[in-house]
Amino acid sequence: MNQDNLYNFSLLVIALILILCICRYHNIKKEKYYNNINSNNINGNNNIYVPTNNQIEKKRKFGCSGEVFKKKMYNFYKNLDMYQKTYEKKQDTLHKYEELSDKLVDVKKNLIKSEEDVKTCIPNFSETN
């Protein structure tokens, strides 16, 4: 009987903790919602879903005028072109490196073969003292 009471008491404590966690979660979500509404009211927006004329005007002013936009786009495409050319040059250099590495392996094989050919004539050709 005592164990049943202890079991029921522990279940009750766990249930209370779970209920408190759910209540805290609900309060946090409600605070975030009301903070969003209050911050929008401070900015002059009475509805969080509909932007005001002031917000639309700020977005429009954020854009660039014709000449500034042209300069920025020109600079962007110039840098993009430079990047592409540099990347292609890097790739070409890597391919040349691979080709030279393969050629070096072939030349080394030929050198070893020629050294062995010379050793047939001169037995102590490559020995160092």
Helix (H, G, I), strand (E, B) or coil at 26: helix
Cβ proximity of 24 and 16 under 8 Å? no
Cβ proximity of 30 and 24 under 8 Å? no
pLDDT tens-digit readout, 91-101: 999 999 999 99
* pTM (2 d.p.): 0.39
Cβ proximity of 48 and 37 under 8 Å? yes
Cβ proximity of 51 and 45 under 8 Å? yes
H or E element at residue 67: helix 66-121
Q: Which residues contact 51 (CB under 8 A, 6 or more apart)?
A: 45
As a whole number of angstroms, the distance between CA 14 and CA 3 comes to 16
pLDDT tens-digit readout, 27-61: 888 888 777 766 655 555 555 555 566 666 665 55
